[in-house]
Structure 1
Amino acid sequence: MVAPAVPEITEEILHDAIDARTESLSSLRELGPPDLVHLLKQPLRNPGKQIGVYHHVTGVEASSSASLAAYINTLTYKEYGQSAVAKTVEGTYCCYNAFSRVDMRVHAPFPGSVECYCVDERGEKRKATDELWLETYLCSVLRAYSYADDGSGDTIRKIMGVRRFNPVTNTETEHRFLSAAEQLFFRGWQLGSDSVVQVPNIVSNHLTTGLLKYFHTTGRYASGINLFEKLRTQNVEVASLLAKVLFMGNEEVQGARVLYEAIKESPMDYVMLDTQAEFLLKKAETAPTPELKEERLRMALGCADRSTIAAPSEFGTWARLAQVYVAMEDWENALTILNSCPMFTYQDKDAPIMPEPKDVNLPTLPETRLDEIDSEPESRYSEQVDPSLHNLRAAAYRGTFKQAYSILTEMTAKIGWDQLLKIRSNVFVMEDEYRTEKQEAVHPAYPANRNASTDALRAVTPEPPTNGEAGGGENQDQSDDEKDDDGEKTLNDADADSAPQTLAPNGKPEDLERPSSAVDPEEAKKADEDHFSRLNNKRLCERWLDSLFMVLYEDLRVYTIWRTQMAQYRAQSMQYKKSAEEWEILGSLAERLQHIDESVEAYRACLGLRFSPKALAGILKVFEKNKSTRETVAGTIRLVTWQYRWYSEFSPELLHTIRTLIEDEGAVKVRSIIQATNLPQNVLDLTHHYAALCATFRSSGTDG
């Protein structure tokens, strides 16, 4: 299998890239950036001059200085950019160790002996030990999975010039990976965790996330079960990971039994409770009868509710509870629980911070040539985009905010925007209600022509909020205690004024004949109490959720305009025109709002104008779900080729797609469909490479 081309970024000043990496070490918070490979080159026509070039890479085996020096050595034979007219005189490989927070470095002069050392956060040199190499190797595998592209191209576009390799290509390298993971497992919390986890622990961290992703991608469930069975004997909490892998491998009875036994031993382990709730929620979706679905959801509710008690500061437990309420169609509780979710600032993956380059060379291998893909970069930068589509804030949501928004859009897709607003006003104190209560608390004295009775009745029936109104968000600083106090004061004032009197000209109270339209004082008092009781049972909407409603309104507004215009154009037999970039944004918008058919329609329109990995990846999800084998194969071939064009020979999601195709249809049929596609052989070979990986791992379906 031919290796991806080598991108070359030329420095303005020699060793600028390495110096910049050293300076950034103290600011790294996650697994660290991709590995940096720096080469010093000497032009053949000017031996006295030196040129510094570099690129980034993931997935290279980093178990020793020898393996990294071997990678540098392979680059001396590449003839791209400066390499064609210059010879390499030395190379430096930098690989971050997130356990010990040091940068492992291998310096290889040509000719000469290899020097190996590490640099700490202060920029000081230290000796590289075997223990540090073990940590570095494990971090490099986890980075390869964490920083891989999902097929959409979003990750590839974030950092320029990254070569991505598969870190685990056979059972031998798998053994090395899992052995390292076993040795360092109980230190995994030191690596940090996904942005939706507040406090990393031994089962929720970047190491466990990487392990689960590996087993999900490759289908090597037996290896995962074996690993977690051994680790469970040392700590019962590992049972949640063991159960997850058992569920992945369709060993549901055994997985449920593992959780049952472990929870008896550790009844308030929130990860185990959440794993149970997630499993029951999925089983409820496929329940054959409404009664069975209701029973499973009731059980899921118990687990999810208990997990929020066990971990009240974790977002995931509250989000799961909200999902259960959505599945139960208990919309008020779903919204109440969503409002209770603790939100965290999104921590993005560590990215290299490099100085402005002198030159950039991004070569293309002949093996990745495909006309529809090659024309993509030129056309995308000349496209016009409507400003209203560029400013959709939901597209930028990540972490907890993205998940919370997904729950909100699921509710909207099921009950509609108008009904969601009604539920919102039932659950939260709306702005007009809040102002009425505040005014009555601050100004208890009533003019002669007003009384508490009519004011109370007026407050009971506030005007409904207009679409998109931000109810309660700007009143976030008002606590529940203050609200209760204000309500109590107003009720006392109402009691004092409940028998209205008017002064006669002589200054003494004068009894007036009561108008027929007047409200009985006792009824007014009761209405007062009902109103404030209802207000005191309501909550203030958190600022972030209030903002989500506003963003959702904007998404729905743009979506509705698009669909209305489309219908009008079709009615007049006219073509509705948008640029490819606009169609891509509309497809993403519809997908975000969970209108799948409309998202596919927009993505297809985008692909009709130019190639788009994001659009094709969006359609591919639907092809997979619908078991459209030939369309799935055709889409995967193009995505694999596009990824390879941009120096990535490894995408876990695309490997998973090929593996599940082979499981469903058999390796022989899948290979035949790939080969029968009317595309150049060099392009087909790239996808055959993914199929060959499945055979190497003896995936289900590869025996036939």
Structure 2
Amino acid sequence: MVHTAVPELYEDDAHSVVEIRTDSLSSLRELGPPDLVHIVKQPVKSSAKQIGIYHHVTGIDASSSASLAAYINTLTHQPHDKQNKVISGLYCCYNAFSRVDMRVQVQIPGTVESYCVDERGNKLEATEEHWLETYLCSVLRAYSYADNGSGDSIKRIIGVRRFNPVTSTEQEHKFLDAAEKLFFSGWQLGSDPEIQVPNLVANHLTSGLLHYIRTSGRFTSGINLFEKLRTRDPEISSLLAKVYIMGDEEVKAIQLLHEAIEELPMDYSLLDCQAEFCIKKGRGDLALEIAKRGVVSAPSEFGTWARLAEIYVALEQWDHALLTLNSCPMFTYQDKDAPRLPEPARVSLPLAPETICDEIDDAGAAPEVDMVHPTLRRLAAGNYKGTFHKAYMLLTEITKKIGWDQLLKIRSQVFVMEEEYRNEKQHQPGDRSRNASTVALRGTDTPQPNGHGEPEVHEPPSSADSDGPPQANGEPQAAASHLDPDVSKPSQSVTVRATESSTPEPPHPPAPHANSSSSATNNTEQDYTQFHHKRLCERWLDNLFMVLYEDLRIYTIWRTEAAQYRQQQLAYKKSAEEWEILGELAERLHRDDEATEAWSNCLGMRFSPKAMRGMLAAFESKRDGRSVLDSLIRLVAWQYRWYSEFSPDLLFTTRKLIEQEGAVKVRSIIQATSLPQHILDLTHQYAGLCAAFSSSGTDG
């Protein structure tokens, strides 16, 4: 078994990281930060000076004080530092159920003391219940903080060792047993950022369980767990149905959903699961009414609205897709709990000999020194997360299918545009009851945008950042001279003033008009010719249109310049980081071939885990097993180099490849790769995990 080296972050004498962690406990919201390991060293030949060193860990067995003390003991023998010796260690592991920090203090040689610290800094006795909760939180954090292969999570927090918390069927049984005992308290842990209110089936515990089952392929274990839990609450049927679908037992899943919905006809998680299944089978017509009922059932959840918008996109009902997107309740993105520690006095990031490979050296975690054009730096869409990211991806999907000009045309037909608003005010100067707000909201069949009565309407912002004055009715204006004329800046729509205090409650699903059809060319002209039937555009959606315009503008410049250089038989040059950004841009716009081109150009200049992850996805879509393995080997090696022995996404890719090609063939291809043997052994460890769980395609 190959293990990573140990990163060392040197504590500033003026700031105790343990005290800072204690002070930050009251501000933690969900699963908590990665575990903190703090050790004290002193010179071998002198006891005058002591040095505080720390790093972070996920995936260590936190079921008892003994297992955490054992980890600290592994740090006492470090071959790269023979001048100092470890005299004590402290392991801190957050218990998100009881909101206490479990701590194990080890004196070397000497005693082991375990206790817990609450949010006020009080020292309490650690009970068996505390350790059960801490163990489960530790496993969930290992999956939550794992890297997907792109390196983003690894570079976000420096000095984190990531281990696989479940490497055998015995450990799996221990994990699922703890999950069963604490399942009905899972809502206390919080939920993914797209979910407004954590509940029994939507929280970090259920997300972690589904993630584990998908990664490991242990569908039978998951089915057994949720079957037992379903006898205590039928709402858990939605989780069981998801595992059935994952395990390719769709008939059982549909039968279960049918029975459960008869018992709980307005359970939105069941309805969403059913709608998702129908849309994946290409039956948007069946999914539509189900999704509408899901919105009525949970009108304040983003997921139900997003599902309805997705179905309208599949049915090519673009006007209703935009109206539904406009009704989505948007939540401020809350990132994972992260360590809030000062900059370390010094950082040591040693390499384990088994992870050294010149080909995958990306110059470490140092800041990028490549020159990047300011316009690429300013692209805002790459920073979207949570609900805004998902809404933006729906908008780009619509654009990919119908084009930017048609999107602007439909936008001007369903939303009140600035010029229309001004004209209406001029025509009705004294009638306050017929302003744009009330007219747009009191149409015969137009529900209110966010259920708050008459929203406050503001004058549209000035177009100082526009290329020219806005045009009436959303007619596109000419873009800059160097830009493709097909990409024109959207004119301003009248937006609802965003409220900071709370998320507004969305309306019921938009009802189709009597003469609407699934084709944008047939229905939009008749449906929205009257100003009375238009909606006010939410400010966030208006901003998405502007961000999408900028993405398309940069993309068009890139493709135009590249074509011109090709015609002149000149090399089109960008820095490696610029190619990374362009790859992400093309990926956001669903331009897969162009994204692959950008990733490939980046990798031609230097190794980039983000670009390699993009190439891996492209090879997976083409079912190119050998190229998938080539990318996988390099990503696994890069992860090990940065102290990550566990990536669920890379393990999932390995498992699926073995399922398709067979374990013998996969091992043979790995071994035939022209990389050092110690690098190949790292990927063999991932394949060995699949064999340990008797995954499909292994030798059993």
**Partners in 2 of 1:66 and 1:257 — Cα distance?**
46
Pair 314,117 (structure 1): closer, same or farther in 2 beyond 3 Å: same
**Partners in 1 of 2:82 and 2:227 — Cα distance?**
53
Residue 441 of structure 1 deviates from its aligned partner by: 2.0
Task: Name which one, 1 or 2, has greater alpha-carbon Rg.
Answer: 1
RMSD: 1.8
**Partners in 2 of 1:259 and 1:557 — Cα distance?**
45
Partner of 2:434: none
Deviations 1:36-59 (A, max 9, x none): 000011112331110000000000
Pair 155,416 (structure 1): closer, same or farther in 2 beyond 3 Å: same
**Partners in 2 of 1:378 and 1:18 — Cα distance?**
25
Residue 465 of structure 1 deviates from its aligned partner by: 4.9
Partner of 2:194: 196
How do 1:304-703 and structure 2 match up within 5 A? 304-377=291-364, 381-442=368-429, 462=473, 464-466=475-477, 467-469=488-490, 471-474=492-495, 476=497, 534-703=530-699
Residue 468 of structure 1 deviates from its aligned partner by: 2.8
Partner of 1:53: 53
Secondary structure of 1:104 counterpart: strand
Between Structure 1 and Structure 2, the one with more helix by share is 1
Aligned residues of 1:470 and 1:546 also touching (Cα < 8 A): no
**Partners in 2 of 1:157 and 1:439 — Cα distance?**
55
Secondary structure of 1:229 counterpart: helix
Residue 627 of structure 1 deviates from its aligned partner by: 0.9
State, as a whole percentage, how many aligned pairs show the same letter: 64
Partner of 2:9: 9
**Partners in 2 of 1:632 and 1:249 — Cα distance?**
23
Partner of 1:79: 79
Pair 79,379 (structure 1): closer, same or farther in 2 beyond 3 Å: closer
Deviations 1:383-433 (A, max 9, x none): 100000000000000000000000000000011000000010111011110
User: Could you list the runs of 4 or more consecutive aligned residues of structure 1 that deviate by over 3 angstroms after TM superposition?
Assistant: 375-380, 460-463, 473-478, 530-533
Amino acid at match of 2:563: A
**Partners in 2 of 1:72 and 1:477 — Cα distance?**
50
Unaligned runs of 5+ in 2: 432-470, 478-487, 500-525
Residue 12 of structure 1 deviates from its aligned partner by: 1.3
Deviations 1:673-695 (A, max 9, x none): 00000000000000000000000
Amino acid at match of 1:584: E
Aligned residues of 1:277 and 1:303 also touching (Cα < 8 A): yes
Residue 624 of structure 1 deviates from its aligned partner by: 1.0
Partner of 1:260: 258
Residue 531 of structure 1 deviates from its aligned partner by: 12
Pair 600,463 (structure 1): closer, same or farther in 2 beyond 3 Å: closer
**Partners in 1 of 2:245 and 2:102 — Cα distance?**
38
Amino acid at match of 1:78: Q
Amino acid at match of 2:52: G
**Partners in 2 of 1:342 and 1:477 — Cα distance?**
11
Amino acid at match of 2:672: A
Unaligned runs of 5+ in 1: 285-295, 445-459, 479-529
Amino acid at match of 2:66: A
**Partners in 2 of 1:361 and 1:461 — Cα distance?**
60
Partner of 1:502: none
Deviations 1:167-209 (A, max 9, x none): 0000000000000000000100000000000010010000000
Amino acid at match of 2:337: D
Secondary structure of 1:62 counterpart: coil
How do 1:181-330 and structure 2 match up within 5 A? 181-284=179-282, 296-330=283-317
Deviations 1:304-327 (A, max 9, x none): 110000000000000000000000
Amino acid at match of 1:557: R
Partner of 1:508: none
Aligned residues of 2:132 and 2:178 also touching (Cα < 8 A): yes
Superposition TM-score, scaled by structure 2 size = 0.87
**Partners in 1 of 2:528 and 2:232 — Cα distance?**
55
Residue 374 of structure 1 deviates from its aligned partner by: 2.1
Partner of 2:27: 27
Residue 365 of structure 1 deviates from its aligned partner by: 1.1
Aligned residues of 1:16 and 1:355 also touching (Cα < 8 A): no
**Partners in 1 of 2:90 and 2:667 — Cα distance?**
40
**Partners in 2 of 1:462 and 1:355 — Cα distance?**
53
Deviations 1:3-25 (A, max 9, x none): 11100001112771101111110
Pair 654,406 (structure 1): closer, same or farther in 2 beyond 3 Å: same
**Partners in 2 of 1:377 and 1:60 — Cα distance?**
25
Aligned residues of 1:15 and 1:52 also touching (Cα < 8 A): no
Secondary structure of 2:300 counterpart: coil
Pair 533,612 (structure 1): closer, same or farther in 2 beyond 3 Å: closer
Residue 261 of structure 1 deviates from its aligned partner by: 0.3
Secondary structure of 1:84 counterpart: coil
Deviations 1:435-475 (A, max 9, x none): 1112222268xxxxxxxxxxxxxxx9857253333532555
Secondary structure of 1:575 counterpart: coil
Q: Confirm or deny that 1:67 pairs with 2:78.
A: no
Residue 302 of structure 1 deviates from its aligned partner by: 1.1
**Partners in 1 of 2:134 and 2:365 — Cα distance?**
39
Superposition TM-score, scaled by structure 1 size = 0.87
Deviations 1:489-519 (A, max 9, x none): xxxxxxxxxxxxxxxxxxxxxxxxxxxxxxx
Deviations 1:70-119 (A, max 9, x none): 00001101233xx4311111000000000111000000001111110001
Residue 242 of structure 1 deviates from its aligned partner by: 0.2
Amino acid at match of 1:364: L
Partner of 1:519: none
Residue 156 of structure 1 deviates from its aligned partner by: 0.3
Deviations 1:235-271 (A, max 9, x none): 0010000000000000000001111100000000000
